[in-house]
Amino acid sequence: MPDFQQQLREVALRVTRPRLAVLEAVHAHPHADTESIIASARALLPEVSHQAVYDSLHTLTDAGLVRSIKPAGSVARYETRTGDNHHHVVCRSCGEIADVDCAVGHVPCLTASDSHGFVIDEAEVIYWGLCPDCTSRPQ
């Protein structure tokens, strides 16, 4: 279990109980949506407000301690695995998300053939398909 208190100090953020609870919740349930994170955080800190969770998630995302994912058709989801350029595979049927590393190399697809003058700093890849459960249980 990472030292979340330490992580917060390293990015010059105040150590507050809501933030610790949110970090722990996101770490324990990768790819969880905000509602689930609120529930998990309240297991640790019963009176935390939903707004504090939203604020914490934004702050932690800006600081790079958590990463948010928003596949089309899904609400925002969060994870603590950051800074390693991994991607996600999303089930079209049930919305299940899993991590994947791109086969192409360290900086996959970062080179667009013609970027129209844009200065690109990140390539985000979402693989769409069916998870094992939904594949074996059609309809």
Partner DNA sequence: CTGCCGATCTTGACTGATTCAAGAAAGATG
Partner DNA sequence: CATCTTTCTTGAATCAGTCAAGATCGGCAG
Catalog residues that contact its own copies under the rule CB under 8 A. 68-70, 72-73, 76, 87, 89, 91, 98-104, 108-132, 135
The interface mask with DNA, positions 74-103, x = CB under 7 A, is -xx---------------------------
Among 3, 14, 83, 119, binds DNA (CB under 7 A): 14
The answer to whether the CB of 61 falls within 8 A of the CB of 77 is no
When the beta carbons of 52 and 91 are compared against DNA, the nearer one is 52
Residue 6 binding DNA, by CB under 7 A = no
Among 47, 114, 121, 122, binds DNA (CB under 7 A): 47
Spatial distance between the Cα atoms of 30 and 88, rounded to a whole number of angstroms? 12
When the beta carbons of 51 and 136 are compared against DNA, the nearer one is 51
What count of other Cβ atoms lies within 10 Å of the Cβ of residue 7? 19
Q: How far is CA 130 from the centre of its chain?
A: 20
Residue 134 binding DNA, by CB under 7 A = no
| Three-state secondary-structure class, residue 90 | strand
Cα distances (angstroms) measured from residue 74 to each of 23, 47, 92, 108: 21, 27, 10, 24
Spatial distance between the Cα atoms of 11 and 14, rounded to a whole number of angstroms? 9
The contact set with DNA (CB under 7 A) reads 8-9, 13-19, 33-35, 47-52, 54-56, 58-59, 70, 75-76
